[in-house]
Amino acid sequence: MQPPKTLTTTLLRVHSTWLVTILAFFWFAASTWSWPLLLPDEGRYVGVAWNMLSQEEWGVPLLNGLPFFHKPPLFYWLTASSLWAFGPNEWAARLASVLGATVMVAAVFWFLKAHASRLHAVIAALILAVQPFVFGASHYANLDMLVAGIITATIVLAASAALRRESAQAYKGVLAMAYVALALGFLAKGLIGIVLPAGVIGVWLLARGRMRSLVSLLWLPGFALLFVVALPWMVAMQVRYEGFFDYYILYQHFHRYIEGGFNNARPFWFYLPVLLVLTLPWSLQLWRLFQRQYWAGEKDLALRSLMAVWFVLILVFFSIPNSKLAGYVLPCVPPLAYFIADIFARRLDGEGIQRASRALSICTMVSAAICLGAVVALTLANRPSSKDLALQLNSLIQEGDQVVMLNRIHYDLNFYLRTSHPAWVVADWNAADIAKTDNWRKELYDAAPFEPSLAGRLLVVHDALLGRLCMTSGGSYWLIGDGSALDGHPELRSVEPLVSGGGLHAWRVDEQTRSQLCGARTRIAMDVTD
């Protein structure tokens, strides 16, 4: 029985991986320009890339001019390159995430077309492209989508190499690409980019009793590729900054994984409802996996076991730490897409072809509508942002002026100001708990030892601010903060905000204002003495 002329028959005509890649890219990229950078993550990560580009420092990730070694550099390199090529705008800022989502869709399509069927490949690619989880992550400029795309590519390349070897096909070329992807995973997220794909492939092959296949994947030229691509940056940073290895590898990779006290504490089971909700309406089909007939027979056992190991291992890995963010579990989405695609493919081959085709069309339209509705909602939403304030300040700030951020760092401000000059950040840098609380202060506090002289100039304690303003002449200071920013600085309350926007205010302290403030400082000091 032939399927009716619906979405299904249209999908069956798709066979080119390049066509799927191009369609996925334009679908993800079409609306990423529509709203300002979201805080804090987008402002932080795009701000680091902008710092690297504007200061022409491509080796060191820079947070407000200070070395930021929380994450490896691949996302920053891609984003800085995009900002260089397309200008400092939101579309360019989110391009790395768009590329990550595109790689995920294309890699799954390529793999399933070769090792399952074209129908499996098309449906799985469609599910990944229009489901809200992947679509939303493609519109969010942080590391999660890029990492998930690279991990997906690494797993399917390595699995394809193993399956090709088992069927006596040439596999070394695909295996070489898997090792390059493994290295890129390390540059995107550190050891996780190696441990997770290697763990999935290793457990899968051992569970199937394919020890020879596992040994054949441990390929010396592949390790050479891995080291050549992955290690130079880390070696260069260790040579440049003493203590880099201890902080970047031992602390960021191991201590943060096992320690508590970080933000976003969630229970062990947190990711299961996250996956089920964020992959709606497709996840409604998963109940069919609990039917006995689905698991009957030996057909597709190799693929099913790969996807089961892939899903369970990564889910458990990210469920162990106390701190959990939804985006961490994005690498679990491709195996879910495979199982849902397999359910639809089997239904389309059975007696319920018309119902299955209609269900596939409805899920696609509902899912796409959710994605487009989210775009409209974010475009219209009034989210915290420095953009409105920066647009007003761009015509007022002169060369040599100094931006001063009061009480917190505004991650996106330098990006929207198009400035390469780091801001002073005024806070209680002597607080006893500063190293124990996982927030913006700890990020800058951790960065300070790598460039102590620069940190001494940029990180200003509250009591020293007025003295700083009074010690210099020439140029203006632009104090940026919210309505409570001047608490603790009564001498500054005589200065009226010059511009306001997005819940932020900008106070200009020029030569005339500075003389008044310094005079007030002298009078306050005399009153205290009296």
How far is the C-alpha of 147 from the C-alpha of 134, rounded, in Å? Answer: 12
Tokens coding 147: 């990492």
User: CA nearest 42: which of 144, 128, 135, 129?
Assistant: 144
Calculate what percentage of the chain has a pLDDT beyond 90: 60
Q: What are the residues facing 507 on neighbouring strands?
A: 479
Q: pTM for this one?
A: 0.92
Q: What is the mean pLDDT of each run of 10 residues along the chain (530 residues)?
A: 51 79 95 93 95 94 93 96 96 97 97 91 94 95 96 97 92 95 95 94 94 93 95 93 85 63 74 91 85 70 92 93 87 95 81 78 92 93 90 90 92 93 92 82 91 93 85 81 82 84 89 75 46
Question: What are φ and ψ of residue 425, in 5° steps?
Answer: -120, 115
Q: What are the residues facing 459 on neighbouring strands?
A: 425
The Cβ-side half-sphere exposure at 340, using a 13 Å CA radius, reads 27
| pLDDT single digits (tens) 62-101 | 999 999 998 999 999 999 999 999 999 999 999 999 999 9
For the chain, what percentages of helix, strand and coil (3-state, to nearest 5) are there? 65, 5, 30
In total, the chain counts a number of residues equal to 530
Task: Name, in order, each residue with C-beta under 8 angstroms of 177's C-beta and a sequence gap of 6 or more.
Answer: 157
**pLDDT value at position 525?**
46
Rounded to the nearest integer, the mean pLDDT of the chain is 88
How far is the C-alpha of 427 from the C-alpha of 447, rounded, in Å? Answer: 15
**pLDDT value at position 347?**
79
**pLDDT value at position 351?**
58
How far is the C-alpha of 1 from the C-alpha of 355, rounded, in Å? Answer: 13
**pLDDT value at position 357?**
83
Kindly calculate the radius of gyration of the chain based on its CA atoms and give it in whole angstroms: 26
**pLDDT value at position 4?**
47
User: CA nearest 440: which of 423, 421, 453?
Assistant: 423
**pLDDT value at position 2?**
47
Task: Name, in order, each residue with C-beta under 8 angstroms of 292's C-beta and a sequence gap of 6 or more.
Answer: none
